[in-house]
Amino acid sequence: MRIYKNIEQMLMEWSSLMEKQWRKFRDDFSNYLKYYIFECEAMLELSKNAKIAEDEYLQKESDLSLKKHRLFTVKDLDVWQLTPEDRKIFSQSSLIHSKKLAFPKMLPQVFITKTL
């Protein structure tokens, strides 16, 4: 009979501890999740803004490259808006025949900055 009393007492203590644990979990965990959700929302917003900035940068870079390709096919140095120093350094023939030399020198006032 005594063993049953001990088992009953042990189960009552266990039940009490489980109930306290559940109350603690219910009361405190919701506060933890509230701030965790705020933190996640902020991180998602930062990630979204970074993606938008990267997409804008890639689009501008693509547009500028396409514009430079079109200007290169025209082969008119006046349209390329070269600086006077660049006109002196490079001969007309070397720039007109080499994309590798021409592209960095074309449209010097147009530049793209990566804002990430």
Buried b (16+ CB within 10 A) or exposed e, 5-43: eeeeeeeeeeeeeeeeeeeeeeeeeeeeeeeeeeeeeee
Residue 22 lies in a domain: yes
Residue 17 lies in a domain: yes
Residue 111 lies in a domain: no
Residue 114 lies in a domain: no
Q: What is the pLDDT of residues 15-49, one digit of tens each?
A: 999 999 998 888 888 777 777 888 888 899 999 99
Residue 112 lies in a domain: no
Residue 8 lies in a domain: yes
Average pLDDT over residues 52-66: 92
Write down the pLDDT at residue 113: 57
C-beta of residue 107 within 8 angstroms of C-beta of residue 67: yes
Total domain count for the chain? 1
Residue 19 lies in a domain: yes
